[in-house]
Structure 1
Amino acid sequence: MPNPTDLTVRQKSRVLEIAFDDGSAFSIPFELMRVYSPSAEVKGHGPGQEVLQLGKRDVGILGLEPVGNYAVKPEFDDGHASGIFTWDYLYKLGSEQGVMWQAYLDRLHAAGFQGDSGREPGTVLPGASTAPKSGCGHSH
């Protein structure tokens, strides 16, 4: 799996920009990160125990704590701070965000919350392209 070469939190646009050593780069919306947090609070403790996250459209990130050399742990401004995002998981979020976003909208709709995020099913988050972007050339 690729390793990150650059990681930037963009507060104004509410995205995590991440570049990898395979040349791919992604802008991952904070909202997508929050609703797909790998924590037990969101994922549950087994299949079918996922907790649908509502009202996360304007969620922000207060801080990003490194976890060893393999992950980061964001602190979201809604108080959620227990998800550990590995490099592999961030790569998956970035490369599959269009599909993952649609799955989230489908779950909202099935639960009767079609307008929760202010978007109709079939719309994609700004910047949710699955096409890899070129890196900015900086490494950290």
Structure 2
Amino acid sequence: MAVSNTPKPVDITIHTQSHTLEIRFDDGRNFTYPVELLRVYSPSAEVRGHWGQGARLQLDKQDVNITDIQPVGQYAIKIFFDDGHDSGLYDWAYLYDLGRKQAIYWTEYLDKLQQAGHQRQPPSWKTSET
């Protein structure tokens, strides 16, 4: 079995109030992921499509949050979202890439929404903060 050079998480923290997930990796990098980003870029077949076919643009996920995270071996986590989505394994390489390229992925997502003619609403949890 090949040894991966991918940094591994040393700390994973759910911040339910701010709808973020914070992951600190063993190379010293620290990423804070909006839960919406994790949900719309879920590595599940439901989101990505089966065998590269039928990827589905995820709409109206701005209020989604994380209810639980479970480790999967020594290589990934399974994230449980409060909209019922719980398929797809987030391996360390995918999470690290998503963290490093977060701005690029977010811009791509917003572009896809615009191309689909969908207007993204602001998160209700942000507008209700005082």
- Structure 2 equivalent of residue 72 of structure 1: 77
Q: Which has the higher contact order (CA 8 A, sep 6+)?
A: 1
Name the aligned partner's letter for residue 25 of structure 2. Answer: F
Number of equivalences? 118
Residues 31 and 59 of structure 1 are in contact (CA less than 8 Å); yes or no, is this contact kept in structure 2?
yes
User: Normalised by the size of structure 1, how large is the TM-score?
Assistant: 0.80
Percent of aligned pairs with the same amino acid: 52
Q: How far has the Cα of 1:48 moved from its partner? A: 4.9
Specify every segment of 5 or more residues in structure 1 that has no aligned partner in the other structure, as ranges: 120-140
The 8 Å contact of residues 16 and 27 in structure 1, kept in 2 or not, is answered as: yes
* Distance across 1 between alignment mates of 2:92 and 2:10: 11
Alignment partner, residue 100 of structure 2: 95
- With the length of structure 2 as denominator, give the TM-score of the two structures: 0.86
Give the partner amino acid of 1:87: W
How far apart are the structure 2 equivalents of 1:62 and 1:7? 14
1:56 match? 61
Q: Which runs of 4+ in 1 moved over 4 A?
A: none
Name the SS for the 1:72 alignment partner.
strand
Residue among 113, 118, 124 paired with 2:122: 118
- Structure 2 residue aligned with 1:11, among 12, 16, 31? 16
Gap regions ≥5 residues in structure 2: 1-5, 124-130
Which is helix-richer, 1 or 2?
A: 2
What is the Cα-based RMSD across aligned positions, in Å? 1.3
For the Cα contact (< 8 Å) 1:39–1:83, is it kept in 2? yes
- 1:41 maps to which of 46, 49, 61: 46
